Amino acid sequence: MTSQLDLVRAIHNISRPQLLIKNFDGIHISRPSQSNMASLSEQIYVPAIRPENLGDSEFKRRHGLKYAYVAGAMANGIASTALVKTMGENGMLGFFGAGGLSLEQIETAILELKTGLGDKPFGFNLIHSLADPDHEMATVKRYLDHGVTLISAAAFLRITLPLVYYRVKGIHRNNQGDIVTPNRVIAKVSRIEVARQFFAPPPEKLLEQLVDRQMITSDEAMLAAHIPMAQDLTAEADSGGHTDNRPALTLLPTFIALKNEAMATYNFQSPLCVGLGGGIATPESASAAFSMGAAYILTGSINQACVEAGICEEVKKLLSQAEQADVAMAPSADMFEIGARVQVLKRGTLFPVRAEKLYQFYKNYACFADLPPAAQKEIEDKFLLTSFDAAWQSTRDFFLSRGQQQEVDRAERDPAHKMALVFRSYLGQSSRWAIQGNPQRKMDYQIWCGPAMGAFNQWAKSSFLEPHTNRFAAEIAMNLLTGACVVTRAAFARAQGIELPPGAGLFSPMPFDEILKLISS
């Protein structure tokens, strides 16, 4: 009879298939062989599952990955070049957080990653710029000029001209007659009506505009009718930052069904893939995602507390101490006027409360001068740390430096718009204060964070991963993937009637070298 400890070890030995035999005296472990596999129907077979077995093989081939694991793009360079490098060097994929950065900063990151990673995988973010479409197009042109062949498209509500230009430019047929698309798009989406657009060919109207402007050829436009806007799509559940707080258990199956529908409708040359992001923070959540059919998993919040993240140490410490309930939805600088919100950390900062106050003032008053004197004083003394007029001058200079004279002109005519721009300036700068670690602005830190952070901290508690100084992104990724293998093997055994002892399906954090030993054993 097998002891409970031996049974736990058998489940955790992920590289070895196990045959569990139920007898009158208990459970016995046997290695599968030709002789005993004949009566497999009367025995319990637990297959070997290694981290590289998880996810969709086509997705991994398409992007040159060993593991179906993606570190998502966190704006303002929080998803730093160091984070992207460590992902690529370890057979995973990382996206640089280009959102909110200047073209010069983006170009510097491109050159660094192309030099540092060579032919290893990496990508850059492209955030839809509703208020500044020229910047979106300029970013796309910079990517094309420097040969960035993979982007993560986020915050899109519809397909835009710059996005189509990126996707279609350079498309051609090879000698075998297959369509080759040099530029790949992984969309990050939380709404089915948007996902449907990405799993369809580029809109004809936009293709015609690009041809008319001589940005693409008529041959490229013709071939574009046979490809999807995005070959891969991340179902974004309850994440940090901009989020629709979608539950993963309903979102992922819906998007997978949409993928199958799109393949049946368009018969694309290459398979479509759907991954899952938002809430991935433990071996159990990673296993659940893959078991539900996710082609890959994408992590975000948990990477912010890693050594490689481009954010100050104080914020990393706050994140490493967060619990699942320590997050809140707060007004966003982007689309502030229409009530757009982001999910942020509320522990250790007053940002969510202050941001909500600003939004309510904007909603209920026609201009700053109409606010009660006490409210004006609070905003100037505690939020802006200067007079409203001085804050407007700084805001005005910013928009002029970005070539947005029309915003300034409108604000000079419309006091409500002026108030909105000043309030948006505070909200926009608050995330940079957190990145820089501005000590004067500690209570104003805007820290994008989802409940995944608290789940990870609970799992890492009392382990070597509890201090943020020990958190390295690739090591965390391998822990989640290896743990997912253990959880999945335990589920295989339970589904076949085996009563496992406590701990058989639990995986605790392990150092990288120990994981490599476990995988190779």
What is the distance between the alpha carbons of residues 156 and 416, in angstroms, rounded to a whole number? 27
Would 385 be classed as within a structural domain? yes
Look at residue 25 and tell me whether its pLDDT is greater than 70: no
Shared-domain flag, residues 142 and 86: yes
What is the distance between the alpha carbons of residues 128 and 154, in angstroms, rounded to a whole number? 6
Would 472 be classed as within a structural domain? no
What are the tens digits of pLDDT across the range 463-501? 999 999 999 999 999 999 999 999 999 999 999 888 888
Shared-domain flag, residues 248 and 361: no
Shared-domain flag, residues 237 and 109: yes
Shared-domain flag, residues 12 and 62: no
Would 380 be classed as within a structural domain? yes
Shared-domain flag, residues 426 and 505: no
Residue for token digits 């990405």? 198
Would 8 be classed as within a structural domain? yes
What is the distance between the alpha carbons of residues 331 and 356, in angstroms, rounded to a whole number? 6
Look at residue 1 and tell me whether its pLDDT is greater than 60: no
Structure tokens at 64: 């040159």
Shared-domain flag, residues 253 and 306: yes
Shared-domain flag, residues 175 and 227: yes
Q: pLDDT-based confidence at 21, cuts 50/70/90?
A: confident
Shared-domain flag, residues 40 and 72: no
Shared-domain flag, residues 206 and 277: yes
Shared-domain flag, residues 36 and 172: no
Would 176 be classed as within a structural domain? yes
Would 214 be classed as within a structural domain? yes
388-401 vs 405-413: helix axis angle to the nearest 10? 150
Structural domain harbouring 33? 4-48+486-520
* pLDDT for the residue 408: 95
DSSP letters spanning 138-205:
HHHHHHHHTT--EEEEES-SS--HHHHHHHHTT-EE-TTS-EE-SSEEEEEES-HHHHHHHTSPPPHH
Mean pLDDT of 355-370: 97
Would 458 be classed as within a structural domain? no
Mean per-residue pLDDT over the chain, rounded: 94
Question: Can you give the CATH number for the domain in which 277 is found?
Answer: 3.20.20.70
Q: pLDDT-based confidence at 32, cuts 50/70/90?
A: low
CA quadruple 175, 179, 181, 186: dihedral sign? negative
Shared-domain flag, residues 203 and 287: yes
- The more confident residue out of 520 and 69 is 69
* pLDDT for the residue 34: 46
Would 194 be classed as within a structural domain? yes
pTM here is 0.94
Domains contained in the chain, number: 3
Domain stop point among 424, 444, 464: 444
Shared-domain flag, residues 358 and 495: no
